[in-house]
Amino acid sequence: MPRVIAGSLGGRTIPGSVGKGTRPTADRVREAIFSRLDGWDAIDGAHVLDLFAGTGALGIEALSRGAERALFSEAHSGSARQLQRSLRELALTDRAEVRTARAEQVAQELDRDPSASYSLVFLDPPYDYATAALEALLRSLASALHPDAVIVVERSSRSVPVTWPDGFLDDGVKSYGETVIQYGGVDHPGSL
């Protein structure tokens, strides 16, 4: 079971079992991601969007480390219910919302919400999720992003790398065995 690495909930196990088909981000990979995000000052006060949330380990870690709010999207209803229970057990429900919906549906809803302004986005789709679909999802999220938004994409090392759409910056790639993390951001404030 995944555990929270640092922050107010550091050391706590994320409650519940990992559902079939759920692939939580390994502790060492999460630690590396959050070390980089902390160095960029991207966590404290962040409004987090965790798509393909699964156990919610990435968004929960961000909340533990000082993010203000998080919206989790998980299409699998059983995993979404478990994530809601986990947030209750960790006393995070006042700062988090879970939507049982596909990431594409949530992106469409956020595109129509003029108040949406997410500053930290996690995209951790199934490894067989098509790269073209992921790039389309990024484009559809553009209007919901804060001008200083940081995007973290987790993929398999065998996946075709994401080509960042117009309006986005490539902030680097790190590999951890089978896992590849691509970092991106908004190219210029107001350009999306």
pTM (two decimals): 0.92
- Residue 128 — φ and ψ, nearest 5°? -90, 5
- Enumerate the β-bridge partners of residue 121: 49, 151
Q: How far is CA 43 from CA 97, 110, 163, in A?
A: 18, 21, 24
The closest of 101, 115, 186 to 144, measured between CA atoms, is: 115
Q: Read off the pLDDT band of 3 (50, 70, 90).
A: confident
| 118 phi/psi in degrees, rounded to 5 | -90, 130
pLDDT per residue as tens digits for the range 29-57:
999 999 999 999 999 999 999 999 999 99
Kind plus residue range of the DSSP H or E element containing 33: helix 27-39
Cα-based distances in Å from 74 to 5, 32, 69, 82, 86: 22, 24, 17, 10, 14
